[in-house]
Structure 1
Amino acid sequence: MKLQGNAYVTLICFTAGLGGFLFGFDTAVISGAINFLRNQFHLSAVMEGWLMSSALLGCVFGASISGYLADKYGRRLILLSSAILFIVSAIGCAIAITPAFLVIARIVGGIGVGFAAMVAPMFISELSPAKLRGRLVSLYQLAITLGILCSYLSNSFLLNYASNGAASASSFMHYYLVAEVWRGMLGSNMVPALLFFIFLLFVPESPRWLVKMGKTAEAGRILERVNGKDSAESELFEIEKAISGETGSFRQLLEPGMRVALLIGLALPFLSQLSGITTVMYYAPAIFEKAGLKAGSAMGSASVIGFFNMIFTLLAIWKIDKWGRKPLLIWGFIGLSVALFLIGWAFTRESVAGNVLLSSFIYYIAVFASTLGPGVWVVISEIYPTKIRGRAMSMATLSLFLGSTFVTQTYPILRDSIGVGNVFLLYGLVMLPAAYFVKKYVPETKGESLEEIEHYWKENTKLSSIEQE
């Protein structure tokens, strides 16, 4: 019996969401390895920043070309390509003998992340019914948080394994899991990457892309399995109507109504990264060690953060289609500002206990995971016309990774020059104008079909829930 309706689309979205899991796992797994790499290769602050941000540079490149590739060759093929890149990167990281080789392997993985990060939420958005779209796209963010948590747990397990010296001195496993345990940490990404590739072999193409390519009958069959025959016919008609009126050119984004959508897609992802979320995920164990915790307990504290990241993302999935995107983003930026000031204050007071710092980080993660984490991905996946959605969302994802790269590259330098506490205070200041930006420019899009959102931009009319507050 074939799956139908919500069960079918959830299964498809879950598979695409594995790209988010790999995104989180691949970008956060370096957090457990960085101290070993710093000691083994005698890394300077600049080289450390380069090694940490090399994957993000790959993300920038991957995101910059994935939109064009996804619009030309389809969403599914690019997701398959990202899985292959993840596998190659994991092998390269495990066998790297120099920092340069490791950087190249991390860049390859970053390209895979760039592909998956751009295509997966768009793919989910294009397959989801309007009433469930926010929830299902948020599954992508949940997958990212689960990947981050699993990377912390995997690193903690391998660190304990290495500390006990479980493998014999002459064994092959000793080299990868004990003597240079960072190789096992960075190479463990291969397992979920293989699963991602296998699952993708059973996933259909996006029906909206199929309509764009003239494969209407195939698109109709997929929509029928998602929404039922009657709804599928109606939705197929709306998709064809919307696509027939699109130019398929980037100039469409420069039309009067679409300029605000372009501004939102470029500014919102970048501002979300200025919250320092990448710094927290990359440097969590190192940050806690700097606060006075030992390596093992620091990794455990990082795992606690990863756990709360996942739990509060579940809250966002539950409520985003009820609360709406705009309130979630506004209160997210305000809440993050408060959290970052608390973290900065805790670091500037030497007498503050480690549990106070951990509590501040948990509050920070709770706010980000329940607001900006899923909210940004949902907004940028639904505000663009179908014919250019791939390329336009590619620009939005590129902006997100440029923000991540900027923050990750500058953190070690700022940390060494002004101190960890002042870095987080600086991040907190930036969040206040970001909240104003959302209030002024971002419309509410909950409950609307992608075609209705597109009509809103073109006609500059207020349709049902799409209203500026």
Structure 2
Amino acid sequence: MNYPQKGSKVYLFSIVLVAVLGGLLFGYDTAVISGAEKGLQAFFLGAKDFVYTDTIHGITSSSALLGCIIGAAVSGFFASYFGRKKSLAIAGIFFFLSALGSYYPEFLFFDYGTPTSGLMIAFNFYRILGGIGVGLASAICPMYIAEVAPSNLRGTLVSWNQFAIIFGQLVVYFVNFLILGEHTQPVIEKIGATLYQVSAESDTWTIEKGWRYMFGSEAIVAGLFTILVSLVPESPRYLALTSRDEKALGVLSHINGYEKAKEILAQIKSTVEVKSEKLFSFGIMVIFVGVMLSVFQQAVGINAVLYYAPRIFESMNMGNPMVQTIIMGIVNISFTLVAVFSVEKLGRKPLLIWGSIGMAIGAFGVALSNIVDGIAPIIPVVSIMVYSASFMFSWGPICWVLIAEIFPNTIRSQAVAIAVAFQWIFNFIVSSTFVPMYNMHGLGMGDKFGHMFAYALYGIICVIAAWFVAALVPETKGKTLEDMTNLWRNRDKK
């Protein structure tokens, strides 16, 4: 076989570009609910056979996250037995079926436009199906990118996956805005402690069709991703792990050039010779650090803001909430680029620590805005922007970088699956509890108590996250994936 003597960055970037489309779908699928959830709530409030409560809506809005937990949990099995490439194609199929099913959950079994408990279950089934795709993509996309990228570009290229996630969220904010057009979100009126009704003045188009188009729009991107991922090569580290050394050398040569590829392949083979290593072969600390990185990424509360952004901005009485949501998406994109272009210069730890501090300041700013009477609405809006922007240059991309690179080769697929599963478990906990917590009453403050409590809690968690990174997370800048074996084996001996 003739191997390229020189590597090609065009080749590398083209296959990474396809892989990050999985990240774009990840962002699209998780954020589409932000524009659709009010129409969805109004639709199911019309059900005659059950009462659609605040809690049920919180679970329905977050049901995709149950699928994310499942997808992440099985991602290690899929990545190990089907390979990274085929697993991503399977994720694309799940995305596609979910988009169509969420658009038309009545398919075969229910009357169109008639809300029932059975239809709600069917809708949640399709959302969970899409969640499985997200769970698979969230674990395997950064893993695939990390395994094809040279060590000096790995942090940057994996960070592009986070950029794609945020870009996917921004795209869907625009799509939701365009779909809504001249129509308006329904007006939901509270009629009891946990009961709501739709105001007679509400736009019926949004209730009947708007949310459907928002969910269905994902099918276009999902179909494109599924086709393109079939054209990329398998990860060279997976090929080496499954004794397909010639194919691994071919992929590595296209990326790095033949001589460098031989050197990298030799390093890979030296760390995968023992294929039967147990999950805790490198000690419990590596698993603990990976899991807690995932836990903190969600426990800081960012997805509660992303999923319910229009509702939050609406409560602040400052202009069009959909426009403000788009502005927040643009801010998020901009600050994600800060991480993309600085992660290899500044390192992983400094970005995480400073991001945690910035998030804490933003969260405490929102909390205080609900205590001080007469404060200008711009203050909590800016505080949320600071909170979100700080996440985007730190925990958003850097957590994925570390999870993709921190584990040794022989346990990577298993360890990544566990870490990402914990991420989605806490994503579900945070997202499903946010609305009830945000609407809590107490201390004579009305629902401002819930607003204050939610963000004060997230701010405290941000401070703890900064301490955790400073004390326990190793810096991985400039290290190869094979270096992780020695890093953790030596650390375990201390």
Answer whether TM exceeds 0.5 for this pair.
yes
User: 2:34 corresponds to which residue?
Assistant: 31
Seen in structure 2, the aligned counterparts of structure 1 residues 106 and 349 have a Cα distance that, compared at 3 Å, is farther
Deviation at 1:292, TM superposition (A): 1.8
Say if 2:44 is the partner of 1:41: yes
By how many angstroms is 1:421 displaced?
Answer: 2.3
SS in 2 for 1:250: coil
Distance 1:186 1:220, change over 3 A: same
CA distance in structure 2 between the aligned counterparts of 1:314 and 1:307, rounded to whole angstroms: 11
Q: Is the contact between residue 40 and residue 207 of structure 2 (CA under 8 Å) also seen in structure 1?
A: no
Matching residue's letter, 1:432: V
Asked if 1:234 corresponds to 2:263, the answer is yes
1:191 paired residue number:
220
TM-score by length of 2: 0.87
Q: TM-score, normalised by structure 1?
A: 0.91
CA deviations on 1:324-381 (whole Å, 9 max, x unpaired) are 0111111121221111101222234452333322211211121110111111000010
The equivalent of 2:400 in structure 1 is 377
State the Cα deviation string for residues 367-408 of structure 1 (Å, max 9, x = none).
110111111000010111223211110111111111100101
Query: Counterpart in 1 of 2:317?
Result: 292
Q: Point out the structure with the larger helix share.
A: 1
Indicate conservation of the 8 Å contact 1:325/1:444, yes or no: yes
| RMSD of Structure 2 on Structure 1 (CA) | 2.1
Over the matched positions of the two proteins, sequence identity in percent amounts to: 36
Partner of 2:10: 7
Residue 222 of structure 1 pairs with residue 251 of structure 2: yes
Task: Tell me if structure 1 keeps the 8 A contact 2:301–2:458.
Answer: yes
Distance of 1:432 and 1:355 partners within structure 2:
24
Distance 2:269 2:105 in 1: 50
Alignment partners' CA distance in 1, 2:86 and 2:437: 40
For 1:152, what is the secondary structure of its paired residue?
A: helix
In structure 2, the residue corresponding to 1:450 is in which secondary structure?
A: coil
1:447 to 478, 482, 494: 478
Q: Which residue of 1 aligns with 2:114?
A: none
Q: Structure 2 residue aligned with 1:82, among 91, 99, 117?
A: 91
CA shift at 1:29, angstroms?
0.6
1:42-81 correspondence runs (5 A) = 42=45, 43-81=52-90
Task: Report Cα offsets for 1:190-236 as digits up to 9, x if no partner.
Answer: 11111111110111000001011010000000000010111001000
**Deviations along 1:64-111, whole A, 9 cap, x unmatched?**
001111111100011000000000000001012432221111100000
Distance 2:424 2:492 in 1: 32
Of the three residues 320, 344, 367, the one matched with 2:367 is: 344
User: Secondary structure at the residue paired with 1:180?
Assistant: helix
Cα shift readout 1:15-45 (whole Å, capped 9, x = no counterpart): 1111110111100011111111122212311
- Secondary structure, aligned partner of 1:419: helix
Distance in 1 between residues matched to 2:450 and 2:373, nearest whole Å? 12
Single out whichever of 351-360 and 148-157 deviates more from structure 2.
Answer: 351-360
- Equivalent in 168, 177, 188 of residue 156 of structure 1: 177
What is residue 100 of structure 1 aligned with on the other side? 121
Kindly indicate whether the alpha-carbon contact (under 8 Å) linking 1:176 and 1:182 is maintained by their aligned counterparts in 2.
no
State whether residues 21 and 144 of structure 1, in contact with CA within 8 Å, keep that contact through their aligned partners in structure 2.
yes
Q: Please state whether the residue corresponding to 1:96 is helix, strand or coil.
A: coil
Q: CA deviation at 1:432?
A: 1.2
* 1:115 equivalenced with 2:136 (yes/no): yes
1:460 alignment counterpart: 491
1:460 alignment partner, SS class: helix
**Aligned residues between the structures:** 447
Q: How big is the shift at 1:4?
A: 4.4
Distance 1:392 1:32, change over 3 A: same
Residue 461 (structure 1) shift: 9.6
Q: Which amino acid aligns with 2:485?
A: E
- Distance (whole Å) between structure 2 residues aligned to residue 243 and residue 396 of structure 1: 21
Q: Report matched runs for 1:244-263 at 5 Å.
A: 244-252=273-281, 255=282, 258-263=283-288
Deviates more, 1:339-348 or 1:367-376: 339-348
Any gaps of 5 or more consecutive residues in structure 1? 165-173, 463-467
User: In the aligned structure 1, how far is the partner of 2:480 from the partner of 2:10?
Assistant: 20
